Structure 1
Amino acid sequence: MTSALPTAPPRSKLSLYLDLIRWNRPAGWLLLLWPSLSALWLAAGGFPGWHLVAVFTLGTILMRSAGCCINDVADREFDRHVKRTAQRPVTTGLVSVKEALAVGAVLALIAFGLVLTTNAATIAWSFPALAATLIYPYAKRHVSMPQAVLGVAFSFGIPMAYAAVQGQVPLAAWLLLAGNLFWVLAYDTEYAMVDRDDDFALNIKTSAITLGRFDVAAIMGFYAAYLAIWAWFITRHVTHPVLWLAFGAAAAQVAWHHQLIRHRTREGCFKAFRLNHWLGATLFAGVVLAFGLSRAAG
């Protein structure tokens, strides 16, 4: 007589909701946070104050979490056919569509409450930022490079940072956004390379499929454009040798990413994607130190 296999204990709703918002994967919100904080420092010409740092940090975490809810609802039928995403709570039915949307709405409302503590310009720009968040999950059905749509959504903290500090969004903010968009194209194409076979079978459009055999070369080009635009822009606002150390360290990370993705293995591409937040952190640290050291010297 064979004994029955043990069944897993039922999971609490809190545990499922934390999985829904990827609480155990902070790399996602860190990718949004570093360029937003860098923009705050650049817009303010140094430390922007703890209020704005807190608003943008908490707001980034909340909106990324809300975006995960929307994405999982939109992709629930696709996710069940992809090994990496098949166990997501909405896909398995452990969290209903209504629950996921309700969680996302609550998180977005809390984030909007934080925005209300800033100024009218930031509040106004929060609406197109939300629209970009809502549009992205559906872009992969219609756009050959949906990563570009994600790039806009993931970069909207930059114009909002300028709006929060200066009460307006100057051309400088859009230049930074354009540079950051190239970074998003780089790391999200690495991410798309992980699921390329599954996405191709499901007829989902991604940059990894669109770029084909030029994917690795394109990613390196995206990284180069990102670093070049940001180096040109930042050094026009603050100059200090520590900046070049930061950009050198960032370039070294890009070279490492090339080694990780050049054979196009799932493991290598996923590792490269997960470690991208260190590149953003490196440039943010360079910006903070450059302003701080320049002020101390002057």
Structure 2
Amino acid sequence: MSAPRCVLITGTSSGIGLATAIAAARSGWRTVATLRDTARADGLRKAAADVGIELDIRQLDVTDETSVAAAVDGVIADYGRLDAVVNNAGAGHLGTLENDSVADVRQVMEVNFFGVLNVSRAALPHLRATCGRLVTVTSVGGVIGQPFNEAYCAAKFAVEGYMESLAPVALTLGVSVSVVEPGAVASEFVNNVGFDLETGITADPYSDALRRYIDRTVEQFMDGSAQSPAEAAEAVMEALSADRPAFRIQTSDWARAFIGTKLADADGSAVQGVTAAWVD
């Protein structure tokens, strides 16, 4: 019998990463679930135990090339193959140009863009060997720029541009490249943007617009319109399992409609009409 297919997933402590790790293992993948801080793996272990599956939980910091290399090399040493990678690790950020430092923006890029490149670069030789899959969780914010998310959207735009450019090149050697684009997902991600809702709104020229944006965003997460992580993970599993997965996969009808607005918006007026209403 051939060995089970092996997938490495980053950012599995919560949210889409955790849900994808569970879904992949339940679908028969040998699943290497990685996270920067393994002390935060209790929720992942409990979720696996609840459904009676095994996960191989390992440390991987996507911003540390040594950590990335050790994780990928360890998978090859232990299992002899790597059939898929899911780049899920990321961090949100709320801010705007005058209030963010350049160092703030660099850090957002380090995690959300260069972290993806670190993992993908280390994995590609092994994915070539198995004609595997490279899947990256981006965001609708990788297609549509959103108020007070300049740095985060810039990083996600960069990921989408890089992967869209890489996809035809990788395919010449048998590697399928896809991006998965969630909208609002009810997970810990929204709590990890590094912004204190109680003290973060200060008296500056942007404070009124920021409060309107936050009120609108909180309402979106409170009114039940946000997806569950498990629902979003279904789109990741589509990228892993489809015979010929699409390059761009949205996780919901709302995400498809929202992104469709941008892709049909040659002069940008339709998108600006939508996003301006969030702050005005």
What band does the TM-score fall into relative to the shorter chain? 0.3 to 0.5
The structure with higher relative contact order (CA 8 Å, sep 6+) is 1
TM-score by length of 2: 0.33
- Choose between structure 1 and 2: higher helix proportion: 1
- Choose between structure 1 and 2: higher strand proportion: 2
TM-score by length of 1: 0.32
